Each structure stands twice: as C-alpha cells, then as structure tokens.
Structure 1
Amino acid sequence: MTAPNDLAGFRARLTDLPGPDDAAIAAARARDAQLTKPSGALGRLEELALWYAGWRGDARPRIARPQVAVFAGNHGVVARGVSAFPAAVTAQMVGNFEASGAAVNQLAACFGARVTVRALDLDRPTADFVEGPAMSEEELVAALVTGWEAVDPEADLFVAGEMGIGNTCSAAAIALALEGGEAADWTGRGTGVDAAGLARKTEAVAQGAARIAGEADPLEVLRQLGGREVAAMAGAILAARQHRIPVILDGFICSAAALVLHRAAPGALDHAVAGHLSAEGGHRRLLDALGKAPLLSLGLRLGEGSGAALAIGVLKGALACHSGMATFEEAGVSGG
C-alpha cells in the first residue's frame, strides 16, 4: 500500500480506516472462556489479547515481528533556549541508535523487536513556530510519507519513537492548540531545563498556539507547530492502521502526534494502546484526551520509544497466556 502524495490523500485515508476482525475477536473470546483460569482473572491482559487478536485477524495470535521505528528531527524553536541540550545532540543520538547503543535498542532487544532509524533533514531544522509555520505543506507531506514508508508491512506490532532536541516544546504547543487550557498545563522540563529555561519554553508554547488561535484543522496545527519527526510518527501510526498492525504508543511526544490523528478522525487510534505514563508534564492530560489508559507507569521520560518498547513485554505476556494456556478440557481440569 503506497503512501499518499499530498495532504488530500492523507485526509482521504483518515476517512477510510479499516477495522478489526469481529470473527477473530469472537473466536478469541470463546477461547478465553475455556482457559484454565477463573473468568477475568488475568484482568487487562485478557482485554489486550482480544484487542490484538481482532487487529491481526487471528484468534490465537503470537507476536513474531515487532518493529520499533525511531524518527529524528531538529527544531528552529531551540534557538529560544527551550532545551537543556544543543541541537547537535540529535544527530549524535541518531548515530547511537544506529550503533545499538541507546536505551531503546536494549529494551527492544529484550523482546525481539527490530529497531529502524529515520533521520529527517537534521541539517535543516523546522522554522521557529513562534514566528511562523514550522513547515511548508510540502515539508509536512514529506515527513508524513517518511513515517508511512518506515512501517514494515510484515511487522505484527509497531512502536514509533523519536529523537529531537526541542520536540517536547513542539508537542506541548500542539496539545495546547488542539486541547486548550494554559501553556503551563502542557509544558514540562523535557531534557531537564532549569526554571528560566522552563519559563522560556512555556512562553514559546503559549505564543505559538496563540499565533494560530482558532485553527480547527489538526493537520494544519501539525504543519504550524510540529516537527518533522512528530509528523513522521503520525504518518507511521496511520500507515500501521491501514496494514492492521497494532501500535503501542510511547510518551508525551508520540501521544501528541497521535492526538493529531485522533482529532482528525475519531476512532483513528482504535488499533493503538498507550505503552506507559511518562513523567513529562502534560502526558497524563494527553492520555485522558486520547481516552487511553497506560500499561505501565514507571516515571520514564526518555522518549526514543523506550517506554513503549518495554510495554511490548506486557503484550507478549498477554498473548502467551491467551494462546499458550491449556483449556479446561485439554488439562483435564474441572470447571470449564
């Protein structure tokens, strides 16, 4: 399935979203009722297994080809002193990902996930969104296409991660523009800015969202305030839906990318679960806006897809129980 080549094409895909396989869900539910456990005893693991079975069209599924795609981009707003690290760190960390030296590489390896890396024009940061649009329409489409094409159609689970100095500032501005409230509601310390840096960051978020006040089109909000890697994550999550690949969302930045899809088409994230609750300011509010309950809450705020990669283990555990447990009849246990 090829990527759309313009915004109209992406909008069209958002109005034509495939759904889960109801027959597979029914068969998985029937199997769950016969497993050697009291009904509901595995709590949310049972719900996860049914959810995953529906999207894969398999009543007894396993995860064999999980993919973690890390997208990297640079942001013009960094010149305002909104980050504790310089923009050069983005490219340096891309090299670390490619050398398998980052946290996400280690966590992905624990659960058999392949990590792919896409750097988006790191030598050409987006424009400062306080002063004007972060991206042109052509740049937005290019980033969405990069995300779309990064998804392996043979993957059976997808995680979108990111790296981009300044991208918590962009994500906070997107959240403020789409959800409202105050800039401070959405703005956290990111990479660890001090009090003065947090004040500058909060002001930039407020000014950026105010500049496009009243804009109701989520894709236009993404163009005005987003980063290339944020747009790429949105494109990837949408592509995964078209391939019926279940998605585990990562933290604050990934959730802001997902919010764009959620506001553009209610139900666009039915194929996604929230991997974890980040320690970054505003993430709980974002998950509430998405209607997603996190699988984990460990105080993580690294990004990279690290929290979602760790949550692969939870989903694998759910499917191991669902697909591997004996039924009452098979085990010769009374009560089935």
Structure 2
Amino acid sequence: MPFKSLDELRSACLDLPNGDQSAADAALRRQDVLTKPQGSLGRLESIAAWLARWQGREMPKLDKVKVFVFAGNHGVTAQGVSAYPAEVTVQMVANFSGGGAAINQLARIAEAELEVVPLGLDTPTGDFTSTAAMDDEAFLAAVSAGYDAVDADIDLACFGEMGIGNTTPAAAISAALFGGGGRKWVGRGTGVDDAGLDRKVTAIEAGLTLHAASLTDPLKVAAALGGRELAAILGATLAARHRNVPVLLDGFVCTAAAAPLARLHPNGLAHTLAAHVSAEAGHRSLLEALGLPPLLDLGMRLGEGSGACLAVNVVRSALECHARMASFAEAGVSEK
C-alpha cells in the first residue's frame, strides 16, 4: 500500500511535478505556424499544448487511452438519499462487465480501454450522519487502490465512478471544502423528488455538523464524508500527476473526489481537464471554484466516466490537427 498514514499521503499531495514547460512551449510554437490564423482553433490549441506538457513531448500521442470506473457503496443511502436501491451498484458493475452500459459504447468509439475497479461493494461505507464514512485505514486503502491502478505508460486517463447515493457524499465534500452549506451543492442525482432532495440536504448538514472538527483538513474531509470510489479517484488523480499522465475528469462526483488535491496544492489539478459540465446542480459551481472550464456541456448526468470518455474524441481531434496539419512553409501558403 503506497500510503501508510495521512501524513505520507499529504506529503505526496504537496510534492507534485509541474510537467514539461519546454514541450508545451514547443507545441504552442508549432500551433502558430500551422495553416490557420493564430488561435483560430481555440481550445484545441491549448489542449495540444496541455498534452505536450504532461506527456513531455512536443508531439504527443494517444496510443493508450484508458477509462477507469471506480465503484463503491455508501452507508448514507440509509437516509433515503437515492431514487435507486444500493444493490444497483453491484448490478451495474456486472452490466459493465457484460458490455451493456453507456460507458462500454463510448469507450469503444473513443478507442479507449475500460477498466472497472470495484471497492468493497459488499461492505458499504459508514453513514456519515452518525459516523465517519471511512476510518484512516479504510480511506488510505481506497486511495492506494486508485493510486496503484494508474500506470505510467498511459497516454491519457479518464476517471469515472459508479455508486448509488454518491452525489450526496460529493455534495458534502464540496460544501466542506468550499462552503455554502448542503443546499448550495445538492442535486437530484438519479432522480429524487423534492422530499428526497430535502433528505439529502438534511443528511449533508448532519454530516457537516458531526465532523466539524475535521473540516479544515481536505484529507479528513474526504475520509469522513466521502466513499471508497471517491477516495480511489483521489488516489488515481495523484498517481497520474506523479507519473505525468494527463487526465480527463468526468462529472460532479468525480470532480468532487479530486477536489481535495486542489485544496492541498494550488496547482494540484493542473494535469486535469474537466471533460464536461453535468446537469447535476453543484457541478458548474464546483468547476468554477476549481477554475476548470468544461470542454462539453451536453446536459449529461450519468456518471460512469461517460462525459470524460466522450471528451476523448475532442482531445483526439486536437491532436490530429496538431500533428497532421501542414505549416505555412510546407503548404506554400502565404502568411499574413
């Protein structure tokens, strides 16, 4: 297990590489001589430079794109915060294995490998309205599982999740890290009615009150209010940074899971892009708080890494233009 204590994990979160500035600069210089007005491809140009920085080469590649879906169950579902029963998590993991979910189709189209990582599905986390979701040992085990999943030979990683009830922990973490109370961050998740929405707010406020002493430490916030799949995403995001792997973050839950890294280090999520802004109520506010403008806005709220996987196609398009367009000199086109 990479992390034996919260102090070890905190040190790892503070010791982050900055990527290869020279590679990014070279990619931007190339963009300036391609057969187009400078800047005319908008964010596609900056995506190419972002890839170059974190892959450490002027001409990035996307030969190995991998989608990770981390799955976990939550004790807070006992508070009636989800429209679906907790057993759906296990059933959907089986659906992923059978190829029947949206993420299976999107991964195929994006030419991405899919890996599903179940985390203690038979044992839900603690109900954070009455106890910590995870003690230090359980939290570190989940973070370590995510950290170990990401290999250095991946060209681009996409992170997603599956866990009935997990928009409630995501909202609780967001409230703890950025303030505003439960009402600001809570949404309808899988489709709860107004009474269910109120139950979510009540649960979050109870959790924030119970764990008030932990709210100044982002790692303790993630342990007390989060879930195993959220902790694994945090670990995977940290591993990607240490191993110079660029990352596409999926929706609200995935972004909230990675957010403690940004609270610990001012540039903690510099190697990530927000793939999309979901229809879940708190996601847009969370992206704004983190300074992560989304690539797509399609009204999605599925999770599973679906928005991240869809955005792979945008990143591939950026790379194709960067790598295959001719320069003015090569094409014999006059510059301005």
Q: Same fold (TM over 0.5)?
A: yes
RMSD of aligned Cα (Å):
1.1
CA distance in 1, matches of 2:29, 2:45: 12
CA distance in 2, matches of 1:323, 1:8: 43
Aligned-residue offset at 1:62: 2.2
Aligned-residue offset at 1:91: 0.3
Alignment of 1:173-188 (within 5 A): 173-188=172-187
CA distance in 2, matches of 1:104, 1:151: 19
With the length of structure 1 as denominator, give the TM-score of the two structures. Answer: 0.97
Which runs of 5 or more structure 2 residues have no equivalent in the other structure? none
Say if 1:67 and 1:152, in contact at 8 Å, map to a contact too. Answer: no
Letter of the aligned partner of 1:158 in structure 2? A
Q: Deviations over 1:169-220 (max 9, x none)?
A: 0101111111111311100000001111111111101111122225210000
Alignment of 1:111-122 (within 5 A): 111-122=110-121
CA distance in 1, matches of 2:237, 2:70: 12
Q: Does 1:194 align with 2:193?
A: yes
Aligned-residue offset at 1:289: 1.1
Partner of 2:299: 299
Aligned-residue offset at 1:10: 1.4
CA distance in 2, matches of 1:308, 1:281: 18
Partner of 1:310: 310
Q: Does 1:319 align with 2:319?
A: yes
Letter of the aligned partner of 1:284 in structure 2? R
Partner of 1:76: 75
CA distance in 1, matches of 2:54, 2:48: 10
Say if 1:120 and 1:229, in contact at 8 Å, map to a contact too. Answer: yes
Alignment of 1:19-98 (within 5 A): 19-98=18-97
Say if 1:5 and 1:145, in contact at 8 Å, map to a contact too. Answer: no
Aligned-residue offset at 1:89: 0.3
SS in 2 for 1:129: coil
CA distance in 2, matches of 1:72, 1:145: 15
Letter of the aligned partner of 2:245 in structure 1? I
Aligned-residue offset at 1:125: 0.3
Say if 1:159 and 1:308, in contact at 8 Å, map to a contact too. Answer: yes
Say if 1:17 and 1:242, in contact at 8 Å, map to a contact too. Answer: yes
Bigger mean CA offset, 296-305 vs 261-270: 261-270
Which runs of 5 or more structure 1 residues have no equivalent in the other structure? none
Say if 2:187 and 2:281, in contact at 8 Å, map to a contact too. Answer: yes
Partner of 1:212: 211
Letter of the aligned partner of 2:104 in structure 1? N
CA distance in 2, matches of 1:38, 1:22: 24
Say if 2:151 and 2:243, in contact at 8 Å, map to a contact too. Answer: no
Letter of the aligned partner of 2:221 in structure 1? V
Q: Deviations over 1:26-61 (max 9, x none)?
A: 211221111011101101111111111111111111
Partner of 1:240: 240
Letter of the aligned partner of 1:46 in structure 2? E
Once superposed, which parts of structure 1, at least 4 consecutive aligned residues long, lie more than 4 Å away?
none
CA distance in 1, matches of 2:108, 2:5: 36
CA distance in 2, matches of 1:113, 1:6: 34
SS in 1 for 2:212: coil
Q: Does 1:222 align with 2:188?
A: no
Say if 2:188 and 2:197, in contact at 8 Å, map to a contact too. Answer: yes
SS in 2 for 1:268: coil
Partner of 2:126: 127
CA distance in 1, matches of 2:182, 2:30: 48
Partner of 1:7: 6
Partner of 1:172: 171
Alignment of 1:245-284 (within 5 A): 245-284=245-284
CA distance in 2, matches of 1:223, 1:234: 11
Q: Deviations over 1:134-160 (max 9, x none)?
A: 101000000001101111321110111
CA distance in 1, matches of 2:56, 2:194: 50
Matched residue pairs, number? 335
Say if 1:62 and 1:320, in contact at 8 Å, map to a contact too. Answer: no
CA distance in 2, matches of 1:213, 1:137: 17
SS in 1 for 2:161: strand
Bigger mean CA offset, 76-85 vs 99-108: 99-108
CA distance in 1, matches of 2:138, 2:121: 13
CA distance in 1, matches of 2:33, 2:12: 39
Say if 1:94 and 1:117, in contact at 8 Å, map to a contact too. Answer: yes
SS in 2 for 1:229: helix
CA distance in 2, matches of 1:323, 1:10: 38
